[in-house]
Chain A
Amino acid sequence: MNKVILWSKQNLFSSWYNILISAFILLLVFYSIPKFVDWALIKATFSGETKQDCKAGGACWVFIKVWFEKFLYGFYPESDIWRVNIAFTLLVLTIATAFLIRESYKIFVVLFLIFIFPIISFYLLSGGRFGLSYVETREWGGFSLSLILTFFGIILSFPLGVLLALGRRSELFIIKYFSIAFIEFWRGIPLITVLFAAAVTFPLLLPANLASDKLLRVAIGIAIFESAYIAEVVRGGLQSLPKGQYEAAKSLGMGYWKMNLLIILPQAIKTVLPGITNTFIALFKDTPLIILVGILELLGMVNLAKANSYWLGMAVEGYVFTAIVFWVFSYLLSLYTQHLEKKYSTDRITK
């Protein structure tokens, strides 16, 4: 107890303005936390089917419960939702496998995730083959779509970003300046512009059959946009490596690709893992922006539901729910990369 008092004396009440700020914050906390708990838990309604069941005056979680399926799956046909579930179960199982198997086999899990899993899940979700009914991508939506876009964005933007980072440091004139132009262009325009261009402008420029699917165009747009950021993050890692690492690799007879894949990139990427996580979390949290081109993921569905005439006035519940869901998933991603950082920090830098 004494320690607590001493600590707060030193850190919270050390001078008159610190006392003032601390007091203000404490008041705010004591005022708002009980109020929030009261609203979110004590006076909240959890059971029922309609808005009219919420009479306690607190949060109406019935809203979330009733709309839950739509929030998760958008307008995906109800009878086919099992397909989405299978795709995500497969993803979770694959990632879980990666934790269990030996280090040297993990590369197969990664290759599966990058090359095979997307194809399986595409046919699973989209259907039209193997006896599955065809589901148009405009019926996709809800939080599952956020996750799909994030996954697609990561597996596409990461390799592309790494290539661009290497390209920017290339000694070949054309590759170098192409990479610089590409990165600076995509980094210089807002994501919203990319989304509008992908949804509206590109169909005018491209032949009708090419990239005819709006969601696909938007997904590619997001991935390319993020790859420019990844490229700059990775470049930071490349620049942090001492020249000696390149020279040692070269002196052992390694060519450009072997040197980069075996020696340079593993170290560079490890160094900038926090920055890469940052970019991926930003990518994940940017997915609600697709609402602007008429594709509804979680936030889009919440907006739609709160405008439903039977459910007017449910905005706060919807937004709090959205915030919690996004926070939980972002935090999971963050935890995973913290785990990676710890795991690969066994080695220290050579003197």
Chain B
Amino acid sequence: MNDTIIELKNVNKWFGKFHVLKNINMNVAKGEKVIICGPSGSGKSTLIRCINRLEEHEEGSIVVDGIELNEDVKNIDKIRGEVGMVFQQFNLFPHLTILDNCALAPSWVKKIPKKKCEELAMEFLTKVKIADQAKKFPGQLSGGQQQRAAIARALCMEPKIMLFDEPTSALDPEMIKEVLDVMVDLAKGGMTMCVVTHEMAFAKEVADRVVFMDEGSIVESKKTKDFFQNPENERTKLFLSQIL
């Protein structure tokens, strides 16, 4: 459990003059599940978006699975192939069926034969329990189904790491559970996961570690049990008292 797969060292980032990430140091071990929480605007989404370089960091270093993230385009594509991402707004491709949404990237990026990609896609769609929706278009699915399809799509690239950027924030309450269930299954399967979320029950159930961010800094980073039972920082305590 101790091989580091994501390593952030002194990462700094600015949006114009706004210092959005301040000296971030964080390691994630293989198979570890890290929950990142904090008030809105605290930089938690920016942080995980830096891990697959949807955002560029300006100072410090980020190493993912032994590959350093820098200007080199080849490195970026390599990393993106190994890091799956699930977005708040699902971001499914509306012009493609659910099946094609899932099969497209493996066939074009990894050059796996199309037939095999579709088998792969069906396998993961079955895993997220929407195999019966494969032939439909994203617009015909409910929010929860769309998000599960988006998870299946990311999994089809067979990533080593999965990033979740507030995966349940855009969902109706009754659909949150079906998405979280899928994520719990995934966690139990041993996937390395970084999840930005406010679902504290989910955090308690699957997380190895919880990271609390505020104003661009990591304020507290502890084993899950410790985090909820003995938060040290005042801001963490305040946040927990409001959210629990």
Contacts and interface: CB of A to CB of B under 8 A. Distances in A.
Contacts of A349: 94, 139
Contacts of B83: 251
Interface in A18-46: none
B91 A248 contact: yes
Contacts of A348: 94, 137-140
A248 B54 CA distance: 10
A347 B139 contact: yes
Most chain B CB within 10 A, of A248, A252, A254, A344, is at A252
A60 to B, nearest CB: 53
A250 B51 CA distance: 13
Interface stretch (A94-102, A201-209, A255-263, A282-290): A255-263
A247 interface: yes
A350 interface: yes
Given A255-B77, A351-B143, A248 B87 contact: yes
A241 to B, nearest CB: 10
B84 interface: yes
Given A242-B89, A348-B139, A252 B109 contact: yes
B124 interface: no
B200 interface: no
Interface string A280-305: 00000000000000000000000000
A344 B139 CA distance: 13
A190 interface: no
Given A252-B80, A253-B105, A244 B93 contact: no
Contacts of A351: 89-90, 139, 143, 146, 170
A52 interface: no
Most chain B CB within 10 A, of A248, A251, A346, is at A251
Interface string A307-351: 000000000000000000000000000000000000010111111
B80 A251 contact: yes
Contacts of A347: 94-96, 137-140
A87 B155 CA distance: 50
B146 to A, nearest CB: 7
B104 interface: yes
B54 A247 contact: yes
B94 A267 contact: yes
B122 interface: no
B146 A350 contact: yes
Interface string A126-163: 00000000000000000000000000000000000000
Interface residues of B, number: 34
B85 interface: yes
A251 B84 CA distance: 7
Nearest to A256: B73
B108 interface: yes
A351 B96 CA distance: 15
Contacts of A244: 87, 89, 91
Nearest to A245: B91
Nearest to A346: B137
A270 B77 CA distance: 28
Given A251-B52, A253-B80, A266 B143 contact: no
A263 B96 CA distance: 9
A250 B146 CA distance: 19
21 contacts: A242-B91, A247-B85, A247-B91, A248-B92, A250-B52, A251-B84, A251-B85, A252-B105, A252-B154, A252-B157, A253-B77, A253-B105, A253-B157, A262-B108, A267-B95, A347-B137, A347-B139, A349-B94, A349-B139, A350-B146, A351-B143
6 nearest A-B pairs in the assembled complex, by CB-CB distance:
A348-B139, A347-B137, A248-B91, A244-B91, A252-B105, A253-B81
